Amino acid sequence: MLPSVFLPMTELTEETFEKILHTFIRSDLIDLRRVTFIDPYGMVGLLEIGELCMLEDVKKTVLLPRSTEVLRYLGRMEFFAHARRFFTLDPMQPPTTGGGIESDVLLEITPIERSNDIHTIVGRVRDRAQAILAAHLKYDERAVNGFIVALSEICQNIIEHSENKGFVGIQKYRFQNLGKNIVKIAVMDAGIGFRRSLAARFKLRSDLEAIEKALLHGASRHEEEGRGHGLAAAKRFIEQWQGRLSIRSGTARLSLIPKWARGREREMNLVNFPGSQINIILPEVLSL
**Whether 82 and 128 share a structural domain:** no
- pLDDT (tens digit, 9 = 90+) per residue, 45-95? 999 999 998 888 989 999 999 999 999 999 999 999 999 999 999 998 776
Residue 200 has pLDDT above 90, yes or no: no
End-to-end CA, the chain? 49
Domain that holds residue 19: 11-90
pLDDT in the model for residue 1: 45
Q: Which of 24, 22, 20, 21 is closest to 10 using CA atoms?
A: 20
| Residue 204 counted as domain residue | yes
H or E stretch including 84? helix 79-86
Cα dist. 60→5, 56, 123 in Å? 12, 11, 34
Residue 119 is assigned to a structural domain of this protein = yes
Q: Which residues pair with 252 in a beta bridge?
A: 249
User: In this structure, is the dihedral angle defined by the CA atoms of residues 35, 133, 240 and 166, taken in order, positive or negative?
Assistant: positive
Residue 113 lies in a domain: yes
Residue 254 pLDDT exceeds 70 = yes
Task: State percent of the chain over pLDDT 70.
Answer: 90
R_g of the chain, CA atoms, integer Å: 18
User: Does residue 115 sit in the same domain as residue 238?
Assistant: yes
pLDDT at 210 over 90: yes
Same domain, 248 and 116: yes
In a domain, 70, yes or no: yes
Q: What is the mean pLDDT of the chain?
A: 87
Instruction: Look at residues 46, 63, 90 and tell me which one is the last residue of a structural domain.
Output: 90
Question: How many structural domains comprise the chain?
Answer: 2
Which region holds residue 91: left if phi is over 0, alpha if psi is between -120 and 50, else beta? beta
CATH of the domain at 171: 3.30.565.10
- Give residue 212's pLDDT: 93
Same structural domain for residues 123 and 265? Answer: yes
Q: Which SS3 state, helix, strand or coil, does residue 68 take? A: helix
Q: How confident is the model at residue 222 (pLDDT cuts 50, 70, 90)?
A: low
- On whether both 177 and 81 belong to a single domain, the answer is no
pTM for this entry: 0.91
In DSSP notation, 11-64 reads EESGGGHHHHHHHHHTBSEEE-TT--EE-HHHHHHHHHHHHHHHHTT--EEEE-
For 157-179, write each residue's pLDDT tens digit. Answer: 888 777 788 999 999 999 888 88
Same domain, yes or no, for 65 and 153? Answer: no
If asked whether residues 180 and 245 sit together in one domain, one would say yes
The answer to whether residues 174 and 269 belong to one domain is yes
Task: Let me know if residue 99 belongs to a domain.
Answer: no
Instruction: Identify residue 282 by its one-letter amino acid code.
Output: L
Tell whether 247 is covered by a domain. Answer: yes
206 and 110 in a common domain: yes
8 A C-beta contact, residue 154 and residue 187: yes
Q: Are residues 83 and 122 in the same domain?
A: no
Over 60: is that where the pLDDT of 225 sits? no
Do residues 77 and 140 both lie within one domain?
no
